Amino acid sequence: MQQAHLANILHFLSEPSASEEERSYEYFEKGLLVVEEGKVLALGYAKDLIDTLPSSTTVYDHKERLLLPGFIDTHVHFPQLEMIASPGADLLNWLNEYAFVAEEKYANANYASEQSDRFLDELLRVGTTTALVFGTVHPESVHSFFTSCKKKNLRMVCGKVMMDRNAPTALLDTPQTSYDESKQLIETWHHKDRLRYAVTPRFAPTSSEHQLELAGQLLKEYPDVYLHTHLSESVSEIAWVRELYPKRDNYVDVYDKAGLLRPKSIFAHCIHLADNEWKRLAETNCGVAFCPTSNLFLGSGLFSMKKAKLFSVKVGLGTDVGGGSSLSLLQTANEAYKVLKIRNEQHSPLLGLYLATLGGAKTLDLENIIGNFMAGKEADFVIIDTASTKLMEHRITHCESLVEQLFVLTMLGDDRAVTQTWSGGVKVYDCANDIQI
Ligand code: GUN
Ligand code: ZN
């Protein structure tokens, strides 16, 4: 069955540059998105397309609303939602005081299942349709998460944490159990419907060399699974990695020697990398998750987009909840703007929206499947009210251009701007009843 959505529609075709953004996007005022069997069939002006629709088409009129591709979160921890906004002294203290304490609860499958549903509800409320997600060390956490996603046929990537040292005993696995459990989860979930698996060593300090080698072994056996971990987030973490891995040249080299650098390997943070580390990430075509709310909240440092560009490394936005302080990619784009501003790095006011959509898709190697509305891509989109608060309404009336309006959306917008979320051509969230469907 065909469906069509009337709205003002915007999507990106490429990354907007600071001096020139117009060629980077397409905008259809009074546009029409035609969807068939969960995929985009056509996009254009309603006046050109409306008469071509078969009479059986269901037409949804979103009026003056803005229709954007669904947001993509390239780094988030679902079990940490319950301790978001916990004030740690720094990353390592925060992990011990709050993150590990919350994660211990996920040994209980019922608890994990309840929390998976809750997390997905929140994700859809903020308009995120795809995320690269950390579970906990417990395989149950990933079974629960994927089971919740499967019910709504979402496109999500998740993995069980591999962690065999420097954490509470209740959260430790061993190299062999982490290998076996990850392998079993891959066999069960990878490519089931729209789900994909990520081999997920937490970070170098909580994995022995042997465990990282076995993670590399899994990547050899399953070349199209993801690798998802943290890299170069805080100065004390980096000093610790140097102590734990004295034979390695640097932090990137720890992962490199274990065979973890390749496309579909996504590293969160990457704040303090040396040039030779950036170079190696570029050579191996790895992706990076820029997590501004987390980096500011934990005081970890300021990410450099300039470096990523200089070395041509793919970048997406990550919320990194619970280190991050919001699940909203709009709020994340807001903080990203400020981080780059304080670094004095020039960028387009549209960069945040690009990173939250097509940039995220490219980083996750999913740009042929999601990220914009090219024909054949999956119909994941959000309906946005750019006047969702009194202040936004007031501000928008003073905007003189589309770019200005979109920038205001990323500065003032949050979950209140998201009125509906659609995944694979199915409505999965509607603020009208504030229920997840
Ligand atoms: N490094 C290792 N584990 C974590 C985590 O859970 N959150 C963040 N932000 N950094 C980490
Ligand atoms: Zn993280």
User: Which of the listed residues 305, 328, 363 is the one where a domain comes to its end?
Assistant: 363
Q: Are residues 99 and 234 in the same domain?
A: yes
Q: Which CB contacts under 8 angstroms, 24+ apart, belong to 358-361?
A: 358/11, 358/12, 358/13, 358/14, 358/15, 358/69, 359/12, 359/15, 359/314, 359/315, 359/316, 359/317, 360/71, 360/72, 360/73, 360/74, 360/130, 360/316, 360/317, 361/72, 361/130
Ligand 1, closest atom to CA 230? 1
* Same-domain check for residues 65 and 118: no
What Rg, from alpha-carbon coordinates, does the chain have? 21
**Co-location of 260 and 394 in the same domain:** no
Among 278, 163, 168, 283, which residue's Cα sits nearest to residue 231? 278
Provide the residue-wise pLDDT of the chain in tens; the chain has 437 residues. Answer: 899 999 999 999 999 987 778 899 999 999 999 999 999 999 999 999 999 999 999 999 999 999 999 999 999 999 999 999 999 999 999 999 999 999 999 999 999 999 999 999 999 999 999 999 999 999 999 999 999 999 999 999 999 999 999 999 999 999 999 999 999 999 999 999 999 999 999 999 999 999 999 999 999 999 999 999 999 999 999 999 999 999 999 999 999 999 999 999 999 999 999 999 999 999 999 999 999 999 999 999 999 999 999 999 999 999 999 999 999 999 999 999 999 999 999 899 999 999 999 999 999 999 999 999 999 999 999 999 999 999 999 999 999 999 999 999 999 999 999 999 999 999 999 999 776 66
**pLDDT at res. 1:** 85
Same structural domain, 287 and 204: yes
CA 124 to chain centre: 13
Q: What is the value of pTM for the model shown?
A: 0.98
The H-or-E segment that residue 216 falls in is helix 209-221
Of 308, 335, 363, which residue sits at a domain end? 363
In this structure, which residue's CA is closest to atom 9 in ligand 1?
A: 323
What's CA 37's distance to the chain center, in Å? 25
Residues 85 and 44 in one domain: no
pLDDT of residue 435: 60
Nearest ligand 1 atom to the CA of 205 is: 2
Q: Ligand 1: which atom is nearest the Cα of residue 80? A: 6
Q: Which ligand is nearest to the CA of 103?
A: 1
For residue 3, report the distance from its CA to the centre of ligand 2, in Å. Answer: 38
Q: Which residue has the tokens 């950390």?
A: 134
Among 363, 390, 406, where does a domain finish? 363
Residues 293 and 160 in one domain: yes
* Domain co-membership, 61 together with 116: no
Q: What CATH number did the domain enclosing 27 receive?
A: 2.30.40.10
Same domain? For 150 and 168 the reply is: yes
Statement to judge: residues 181 and 309 lie in one domain: yes
> In angstroms, what is the span from residue 363 Cα to ligand 1's centroid?
20
Q: Are residues 35 and 75 in the same domain?
A: no
Total count of domains within the chain: 2
Same structural domain for residues 206 and 348? yes
Phi then psi for residue 278, to 5 deg, are -55, -45
Residue 14 sits in which domain range? 2-69+372-433
Q: Are 21 and 161 in the same domain? A: no
Which residues 6+ apart lie within 8 Å of 318 measured at CB?
A: 73, 74, 75, 76, 132, 268, 289, 290, 291, 294, 324, 332
Q: Which of the 8 DSSP states describes residue 312?
A: T
Decide whether any atom of ligand 1 lies within 6 Å of the 203 Cβ: yes
- Tell me the pLDDT tens digit for each residue of 316-331: 999 999 999 999 999 9
For 364, list phi and psi in degrees, rounded to 5. -90, 10
User: If you measure from the C-alpha of residue 77 to the centroid of ligand 2, how many angstroms do you get, rounded to a whole number?
Assistant: 6
Distance of CA 352 from the midpoint of ligand 2 (Å): 20
